[in-house]
Structures are given as C-alpha cells and as structure tokens.
Amino acid sequence: MSESPAEDSATAAIGHLLRELAPQVLGAVARRHQDFDAAEDAVQEALIAAATRWPTSGVPDNPRGWLYHVAVRRLTDVARSELARRRREDAIASEAAAIETVVPSLFGEIRPDEDDTLVLLFTCCHPALTPPTAIALTLRAVGGLTTGEIARAFLVPEATMAQRISRAKQSIKASKIAFDLPSDAERAERLGAVLHVLYLTFNEGYASSSGADLQRSDLANEAIRLTRLLRALLPDDGEVAGLLALMLLTDARRAARTGTGGELIPLDEQDRTVWDRLLIDEGIAIVSDTLPRGSLGPYQLQAAIAAVHDEAMRVEDTDWPQILALYGVLEGMSDNPIVSLNRAIAAAMVNGPSAGLDRLVALDSDARIAGHYRLDAVRGHLWEMAGDRERAVAHYRAAAERTLSIPERNYLTTKAARLVDQGRGR
C-alpha cells in the first residue's frame, strides 16, 4: 500500500527539516565532545530515530533540542560501555567522575545554536585539510549529503569516498583542531578557507554541468545552499555576500552555457533570453547592497564583474570600460595571473586587440601561467579580433592540444577549424 500524498509531503518536510538541523546538532555535539567521528555516529542515530518516529508522533516543539539530547544520550551510552570495558581492566572508583573523563563536560549547560553550524564549517574547511578532502567533508557533515551521493558527484566509487571522508576525520583528530570558533587573529584566514572550499565546490559542479556529467551540477546547487546558510550566519561580511552573488550571477547563465551536444558556448555567443532573471536580480541586489559598504574583496569584485555582464541584454551592450576598471582593482588586490589574463581581454574590448596582446607579453615570464593553454586560447581570440587568421589558428590549436577538458578541446579545435574554413572562403 502506498502512502497518501499528504503523508508523502509530511515525510518530505521532515526530511528537509532534518537536513537543515543536522549540521547544527552535529556542530553542537562535536563542539562539546571534541570527537568528530563519535559525534557524527551519535547524530546519525538521532536523525534515524527522528525520521522513523516523527512522521507518526509529530515533530516535537523543539526539534533541535530533541535531536541534540538523543545524540548526547547515545554518546553517553557509548561512553558507559567504554567505561564498562575499562572497568574490567582495572577498577575505577566513581562512575560519574569516570564518565566525565570519557565524555568531557557532557553534562554542562549547552544548547545547540546557529554558531554550531559555523563551527562545523570552520572545522571541515580547516586549512590543514587538502581542498578535495575539505569539500567532501563539508558536503557530508554540513550539507548532509550521503557518502554515495558525494561519490557519484565526484565520479569515484563509494568505498573510495568513504575512506577519503574517514581519513579527513582522522586528520582532524590527529592535528588536534579544536571544535570552536577561530580566534580573532585567525578568523580572516579561516573564513577565507571556508569561502575557498565553497567556491571550489561550486566550480566543480558548474564547470562540468554537461551531458553525462549532469548530476554534478547538483554540486553547484549545494554550494549555493551552503553559501546562503553562511550568509545567514554572517550577514555583515562583504566577502560572504560577494561569493554568494558571484555564484548566483554565474549560475544564472548555466542553461545558456552548453548546447544540445554538450558543447561549450562562450559568453559572447550565449542566448541571453534563457539566462535566469530571478538569480540575476538577486545577485545584483546583493552586489548593490554590499559594494558601497567598503572593505572590498576579490569575491565582491568578481561578483561586480559578473553583474556587469549579466546586465547586458545584448552582448554589444556590455559595459567593457567598467569591467576593465574592475579588473584593474582586482589585479591590484590579488596577484593572480588569470585575473591579468581577463584584464587583457577587457583591455582589448575597450582599446582594441593590440592593447590586449601587449598586456599578455608580461605573462610569458610568469612561471605560473607561461605555457598554460589559457594563455594560448586568449592569444587566439585576440589575434582573431585583430584579423590575423593564421596566428589565431596556431594559438587555438596549441591551446587545444594542452587543455585537459574534452568540451574545451572540442571548442578550441572547432574555433580553429572555422577560421581555416573561412580562409578557404567556405
């Protein structure tokens, strides 16, 4: 017998609520217990108990407190049996005191609050973890995705992902990272690491949202959801707002970014009528609200640049002088050769292709990007603008041979082939 639609939607609402509460409860329990692994097991059991009980008993008045107490009780049970084990090995005088040593201050007054989600994010995105590990852990612990879902998103077997997550938890334990909000001195660096992990998660999903990899675009949605969550916790932080706006303004173009054959469509050839106006409006509102407040950062600037692109209903309406100015500020702030590359494109759009090509010369002596396929791809583009077909073709081909992305290789080879065809007058 199938459930009625009303029961279905009640179950779905409970699932949604549990996903929202899970990181808060996990954060609170881990903060108290200082053991990620044990805390996660306990919270998992509390979530399962809620998922089975709530649909019939109804959602309790304080669902977060309910989950927290069930998880803590579970931890206490584990501690008791651990204690019993130790007892068999040597007698311990006071049980209560002993439990206290196994479960430090478990009985103190603590109530889960929103800071706990923040603590959890700071821990999962700790600079001691490699970015791929931090992404997986964040999706698991804060995003509430199952290990299977994360494995599918990263195209690896589930057992591999389970090990990666487990190793991450071990290295958190080994490096004695405290489950707490970072000190003021550390705060900027640690928040930067959180934003970087969310940004990489978004890119992982966005850059591959085509064809067989369609399921990976869920990663972009998840990154947006987590960044919204972070913004609700830190509403006054300009860079958090900037990152959210950047994601929204980029994601707005997702449907226009790939063709029916999974091929890449660059910004200047996209069908702008399929851009998501709601996302653009929201992104622009965030940018306009944040920029005037001062303390500009790289995410805000990138969001501002994305906003200028998204505001142009036709590609020829793009306000390139403004984009060039924004890249100028961004370049002064970030020392990133990819920014210099983009600035060269903007310079070409404002002052002609030779202005852009001149700017690229300096990059040939920058070891971080010299010989990189993107440098060739941009040179191809600028020589094409300048009408030098032969040079453009050579650079597009050189770029195509070195990119590691198949859609990008197809795009670059196609670009070169089109120019050759034009040269033959076809």
Partner 1 sequence: MRYMLMMNAPRGNGDWGANQWSHDDLKAHINFMHELNADLTKAGELVSAEGLAPPGDAKLVRADKNGAPVTDGPFAEAKEFLAGFWIVDVDSADRAFQIAARVSTAPGPGGLPLIIPVEVRQVMSAPPVS
**Of 158 and 263, which has the nearer Cβ to partner 1?**
263
Torsion angle, alpha carbons of 168, 243, 408, 152, to 10: 40
Paired with 258 in beta bridges are 264
- SS3 of the chain: helix, strand, coil, percent, to 5: 75, 0, 25
Question: Residue type at 67?
Answer: L
For 100-179, strand residue ranges (E) read none
Q: Which pair of tokens denotes residue 192?
A: 């930067």
**Of 124 and 398, which has the nearer Cβ to partner 1?**
398
**Of 160 and 166, which has the nearer Cβ to partner 1?**
160
425 makes contact with partner 1 (CB under 8 A): no
Q: Which pair of tokens denotes residue 207?
A: 């850059």
401 makes contact with partner 1 (CB under 8 A): yes
C-alpha distance from residue 1 to each of 6, 7, 60 (Å): 14, 12, 27
88 makes contact with partner 1 (CB under 8 A): no
Q: Which of 296, 380, 338, 26 is nearest to 203 (CA)?
A: 338
Distance CA 24, CA 62 (A): 13
Distance CA 131, CA 198 (A): 10
397 makes contact with partner 1 (CB under 8 A): yes
Stretch that binds partner 1, among 6-14, 19-27, 70-78, 255-263 (CB under 8 A): 255-263
Q: Which of 306, 299, 330 is nearest to 250 (CA)?
A: 306
269 makes contact with partner 1 (CB under 8 A): no
Contact 349, 320 (CB under 8 A): yes
Q: Which pair of tokens denotes residue 426?
A: 């076809």
Contact 244, 224 (CB under 8 A): yes
Contacts of 341 (CB under 8 A, 6+ apart): 360, 363, 369, 374, 375, 378
Give the burial class of 244: count Cβ atoms within 10 A of its Cβ; 0-12 exposed, 13-18 middle, 19 or more buried: buried
Binder among 12, 255, 315, 406 for partner 1 (CB under 8 A): 406
Binder among 12, 48, 51, 155 for partner 1 (CB under 8 A): 155
Coil, helix or strand at residue 180: coil
212 makes contact with partner 1 (CB under 8 A): yes
Q: How far is the CB of 370 from partner 1 (least distance, A)?
A: 16
414 makes contact with partner 1 (CB under 8 A): yes
Q: Total binding residues for partner 1 by CB under 8 A?
A: 21
Q: What is the CA radius of gyration of the chain?
A: 26
Q: Which of 174, 104, 142 is nearest to 26 (CA)?
A: 142
Q: How far is the CB of 367 from partner 1 (least distance, A)?
A: 17
Contacts 24+ apart (CB under 8 A), 146-154: 149/218, 152/215, 153/204, 153/205, 153/215, 153/216, 153/218, 153/219, 154/204
**Of 289 and 401, which has the nearer Cβ to partner 1?**
401
Q: How far is the CB of 158 from partner 1 (least distance, A)?
A: 14
Stretch that binds partner 1, among 9-17, 49-57, 121-129, 418-426 (CB under 8 A): 418-426
Q: How far is the CB of 374 from partner 1 (least distance, A)?
A: 16
**Of 103 and 400, which has the nearer Cβ to partner 1?**
400
152 makes contact with partner 1 (CB under 8 A): no
Stretch that binds partner 1, among 294-302, 316-324, 381-389, 395-403 (CB under 8 A): 395-403
**Of 225 and 402, which has the nearer Cβ to partner 1?**
402
Binding mask 279-318 for partner 1 (x = CB under 8 A): ----------------------------------------
Stretch that binds partner 1, among 10-18, 287-295, 313-321, 393-401 (CB under 8 A): 393-401
211 makes contact with partner 1 (CB under 8 A): yes
**Of 122 and 411, which has the nearer Cβ to partner 1?**
411
215 makes contact with partner 1 (CB under 8 A): no
426 makes contact with partner 1 (CB under 8 A): yes
Q: How far apart are the first and last CA of the chain?
A: 65
- What is the binding site for partner 1 (CB under 8 A)? 155, 211-212, 261-263, 397, 400-402, 404, 406, 410, 413-414, 416-418, 420-421, 426
